[in-house]
Amino acid sequence: MSETQILVVEDEPSLAEVVSLYLKRAGFEVQVASSGGQAMSILEKRIPDFVILDVMLPEVDGLSITRWLRDHSDVPIIVVTARREEVDRIAGLEMGADDYVVKPFSPQELVSRVRAVLRRVGRDQLGAESGKALTFDSIQIDPRTRVVMVNESQVELTAKEFDMLHLLARHPKQVFTRDQLLERVWGGAEYIDPGTVTVHVRRLREKMESDPSKPKHLITVWGVGYKFEP
Instruction: State the residues that interact with Ca ion by CB under 5 A.
Output: 11, 54, 56
What span, in angstroms and rounded, lies between the C-alpha atoms of 111 and 123?
A: 19
**Beta carbon nearer to Ca ion, 58 or 122:** 58
Q: Where are the beta strands (DSSP E) in the chain?
A: 5-9, 29-33, 50-54, 77-81, 99-102, 134-135, 139-142, 147-150, 153-155, 176-177, 218-221, 225-228
Which residues, other chains included, contact 182 with Cβ-Cβ below 8 Å and sequence gap of 6+?
A: 188, 189, 192, 194, 196, 197
Cα 38 to Cα 43, 58, 165, 182: the distances in Å are: 9, 10, 29, 33
In a 3-state reduction of DSSP, which class is residue 57?
Answer: coil
* Closest separation in Å from C-beta 54 to Ca ion: 4
* Closest separation in Å from C-beta 101 to Ca ion: 13
**Beta carbon nearer to Ca ion, 34 or 140:** 34
**Residue 31 near residue 8, CB atoms below 8 Å:** yes
**Beta carbon nearer to Ca ion, 56 or 147:** 56
**Beta carbon nearer to Ca ion, 51 or 141:** 51
* Closest separation in Å from C-beta 203 to Ca ion: 47
Query: Quick one: CA dihedral 66, 67, 69, 73, positive or negative?
Result: positive
What span, in angstroms and rounded, lies between the C-alpha atoms of 109 and 92?
A: 19
**Beta carbon nearer to Ca ion, 44 or 59:** 59
Closest residue (Cβ) to Ca ion? 56
* Closest separation in Å from C-beta 155 to Ca ion: 43
* Closest separation in Å from C-beta 31 to Ca ion: 17
**Beta carbon nearer to Ca ion, 15 or 155:** 15
* Closest separation in Å from C-beta 19 to Ca ion: 12
φ/ψ (deg, to 5) at 215: -65, 140
**Residue 93 near residue 101, CB atoms below 8 Å:** no
